[in-house]
Structure 1
Amino acid sequence: MTGVGDLDLDRTTATVERTLREQRVADLAGVLAPLTVPDVVAVLERLPGRDRAVVYRLLPKEQALEVFEALDPTLQGELVRGLQDEDVAGVFARLGPDDRVSLLDELPATVASRLLRGLVPAERELTAVVLGYPARSIGRRMSPGYVTVHPGDTVPEALARVRSRIDDAETVYTVPVVDDGRRLVGVVSLRDLMRSEPTSVRVEDLMRAPYAVPAASDAEAAARRCADLKLLALLVVDEEERLVGILTVDDALRILEEAESEDQARIGGSEPLRRPYLATPVRAVVRSRVVWLLVLGVGATLTVRVLEAFEATIAQMVVLSVFIPLLIGTGGNTGNQAATTITRALALGDVRPRDVGRVLAREARTGASLGLVLGAAGFVLASLFYGAAVGAVIGITLLAVCTLAAAVGGVMPLAARRLGADPAVFSNPFITTFVDAAGLVIYFLVARAVLGL
């Protein structure tokens, strides 16, 4: 079954909405039948909440589970509230423990408790293991469903063990090797097991050193490690090096996607929506933006106060006001470029808070170089129209502002990480506000010195 294109998907969504409005629910099954799982997810993301549950109930049982797993946790929670209890219990029981935990975080406590009580004891215990870790730790995102082998197992014994757990394990391509105390001692790939012909070969002859992270470590950092090492699965251990779970590459990529979306939203001065845009109510979009706008509005009063303080300087030479948008815009953009670069470098592990001195020096040099180029251009253009004195003010100010903006923009994300805050929060919006005010102070001080005002 092949997917449909964007245009056909829009038509399909429109057909579904029209069929629902006309209350021809029986015809919906025929509309949904040719759609793949990603297509159905895309349709559900575009539907209002009240219609989403109706469409979901018409999906075949196996496809329904795949569709549910592919939805964002927030949409899963809304869908659960629109389904009947027996529908919810069936889907919930068939989810993996890590997916159950993501869903439980979106549900009211009473609903979550009821769903947990409906699980068989073994599944409830696995889910409880994941629930026991902090919200942003990798323990909260790992899967406790895995298959292990022992160093002394022969290859046939190991393959038989993998085969017996193949329906329960999250993945069987990476097989952890543990001792009798469940401590992680190595890892072996299914490929190596299957291509080993002699029955006397043991797992300890094939295993290699494992890559593992503590369960309490940050989920994003663990996911980044999994992606950087190009692993199919990253092993998760407790404080005593006992295996407690695995992070598969698809879950790692999902964590990184969420982190990237969060950083981009905060760099732009808003909170992440945590759900597809078209499925987000307008009031939620407003809430995600209004607080930041209010904070930045208050911060902008600092710029107003600076202008008031130099009102007499502006009155003596009104032409200075012409260049204010250019100078504060250039400073803000320079600071944002530096902050975005360093925030990304932090996420990738290229820099750490202890590198603040090196980052400050590099960004100051970078800002000065940019300032020389832009300042020279500003001097030439301003001199042509307003004279060499005004050109000198613009050139010197651009040099100083670019140097300051780049240095501040590079250091602020590192300072945020040192304080335990999200570096993206300290990036573009706050840097722009700070650089605007500082840039105006520099501008008017340079003007007073050069022009003798």
Structure 2
Amino acid sequence: MTTEQIPTQNFDTADLLELIEQSLSRRDLAAASTTLSPVPTWQIVQVLERLNPRDCAVVYRLLPKQQAVEVFEALSPELQGELVRSLQDAEVAALFAELDPDDRVWLLDELPASVAPRLLRGLSPHERELTASVLGYSQDSIGRRMSPEYVTTHPDLTAAETLRRMRARIADAETIYTLPVTDHARRVVGVVSLRDLLAADDDAFVESLMQDAHTVPADSGAEAAARDCTDLGLLAVPVVDSEHRLVGIFTIDDAARILKREESEDAARQGGVEPLARPYLSTPIRRIVRSRVVWLLVLAVGATLTVKVLSVFEATLEQLTVLALFVPLLIGTGGNTGNQAATTVTRALALGEVRPRDLVRVLTRELRVGLSLGVLLGLLGFGITALVYDWQIGLVIGCTLVAVCSVAATIGGIMPLVARTIRVDPAVFSNPFITTFVDATGLVIYFVIAKAILGI
């Protein structure tokens, strides 16, 4: 069967990717183009995400112009930036002009600062002004992620008049499903949904249809605003300035994008790596190495604390070598307990369930949790160790588990709050650093208890 006869629309992404890679390896661009022609946009996006940067640019150039624009808009900002660096200036300028202002800002944040002025100069004065208004906000604020293209209405307009306004702007507006209602000073006084407008009589006033608006200040955090938007189930949220005047609209799709990115970063950093911008199998080896090596070096330096503690208590180990058998068990249990606490509190921070001012409450709560876990594990450890060795060794292991679990849970619980207080990503302070810290402190606790009970 020839390539032209293959029903690629029925292939899953893995099969399609294999076909494309085979065509590229043979330098048969015509076959690759034919393979792609019946494929929907969403699947082309998945293929591009899995190709290496060079092949991604080659395949992208094979797409028809309109589909190329659709595919580019559907890519993540990281992949957009990577693709821009592989395309010619004329191609980049055309794609950049097709993006919405908020999507342009996402892309500019992924490109070198020297590129932004050149791309902005290629825009029309109106589009340049819209994009610059979003660029004026700090990078982590919701103002940076809002769209300045929206449709508004007023309380004294009718449903029919509002629908006419909406139809006149429908091609440019970010969303038409939720319309901010503003007074004559552009202050937000409510919102009205498209559903209510269509269901209302033509002469019904917007004032009788509108609902209270949930607004967010433009300088507030993007992640917090995105979580509010999704938690409240809102399709769009008006963004306002310090005087409650409308400056933009923030939609549910942008909220989902922000939360996906933040959760990916948190998950990666809790494991001691930097997040990857593209799927694992298409990420260059050097980039994966770069994402891990810094953390490994930091943790290796931290692990020297554990070595130092062992050297300090070397004489104790020589007197009773059986103590060395339990070192992996104790420091592993402590590290796991601390990681559990840190993960729980980091998640609670992200959801807004706790704040840095709750540090004392979290500390006492995790202390009680750690103590309870330590007692349960300590009793089990005492029983098993007393049967295999003797009751004194069992008592050392049992008491150490109680102490280590209490300390680990407490430290693991408050570390994310401390990180948020000093404006550091809580995920960075989580698992890798807590494991290193608990290893060292756990050994100190272990040998101090052993010396006290065994008299060595």
Name the TM tier (shorter chain): over 0.9
**Residue from 12, 15, 24 that aligns with 2:16:** 12
Residue-by-residue CA offset, 1:314-354 (whole Å, 9 max, x unaligned) = 11100000000000000000000000000000000011111
Tell me the amino acid that sits aligned with residue 27 of structure 2: Q
Q: CA deviation at 1:4?
A: 5.3
Matched, 1:82 2:86: yes
- Where do 1:110-129 residues align within 5 Å? 110-129=114-133
Match of 1:148 in 2: 152
Residue-by-residue CA offset, 1:128-162 (whole Å, 9 max, x unaligned) = 01111111111111111110001110111011111
Match of 1:267 in 2: 270
- Distance between the aligned counterparts of 2:235 and 2:253, measured in 1? 8
- Distance between the aligned counterparts of 2:416 and 2:143, measured in 1? 26
- Distance between the aligned counterparts of 1:304 and 1:4, measured in 2? 58
Tell me the amino acid that sits aligned with residue 17 of structure 2: T
**Residue from 130, 135, 159 that aligns with 1:131:** 135
**Residue from 236, 240, 243 that aligns with 2:239:** 236
Match of 1:284 in 2: 287
What is the count of residue pairs matched by the alignment?
450
Q: Please report the TM-score for the alignment, with normalisation by the length of structure 1.
A: 0.96
- Distance between the aligned counterparts of 2:154 and 2:10, measured in 1? 47
- Distance between the aligned counterparts of 2:235 and 2:413, measured in 1? 34
- Distance between the aligned counterparts of 1:423 and 1:440, measured in 2? 25
**Residue from 424, 442, 453 that aligns with 2:445:** 442
Q: What stretches of structure 1 of length at least 5 have no aligned partner?
A: none
Matched, 1:412 2:415: yes
DSSP 3-state at the match of 1:82: coil
**Residue from 361, 366, 369 that aligns with 2:369:** 366
**Residue from 377, 391, 398 that aligns with 2:380:** 377
Is residue 79–residue 277 contact of structure 2 (8 Å, CA) maintained in 1?
no
Q: Please report the TM-score for the alignment, with normalisation by the length of structure 2.
A: 0.96
Is residue 52–residue 283 contact of structure 2 (8 Å, CA) maintained in 1?
no
Match of 1:189 in 2: 193
Is residue 374–residue 399 contact of structure 1 (8 Å, CA) maintained in 2?
yes
Is residue 8–residue 16 contact of structure 2 (8 Å, CA) maintained in 1?
no
Q: CA deviation at 1:82?
A: 2.0
Matched, 1:61 2:85: no
**Residue from 199, 216, 231 that aligns with 1:213:** 216
Assess, with a 3 A threshold, how the Cα gap between structure 1 residues 119 and 307 changes in structure 2: closer, same or farther: same
- Where do 1:249-398 residues align within 5 Å? 249-398=252-401
RMSD of equivalent CA atoms: 1.5
DSSP 3-state at the match of 2:150: coil
Is residue 159–residue 200 contact of structure 2 (8 Å, CA) maintained in 1?
yes
Larger displacement relative to structure 2 (47-56 or 420-429): 47-56
Is residue 2–residue 36 contact of structure 1 (8 Å, CA) maintained in 2?
no
Match of 2:40 in 1: 36
Query: What is the percent sequence identity of the aligned residues?
Result: 64
DSSP 3-state at the match of 1:255: helix
- Distance between the aligned counterparts of 2:10 and 2:237, measured in 1? 34
Residue-by-residue CA offset, 1:282-309 (whole Å, 9 max, x unaligned) = 1111111111111111111111111111
- Distance between the aligned counterparts of 1:59 and 1:232, measured in 2? 32
Q: What stretches of structure 2 of length at least 5 have no aligned partner?
A: 1-6
Q: CA deviation at 1:38?
A: 2.1
- Distance between the aligned counterparts of 2:215 and 2:364, measured in 1? 35
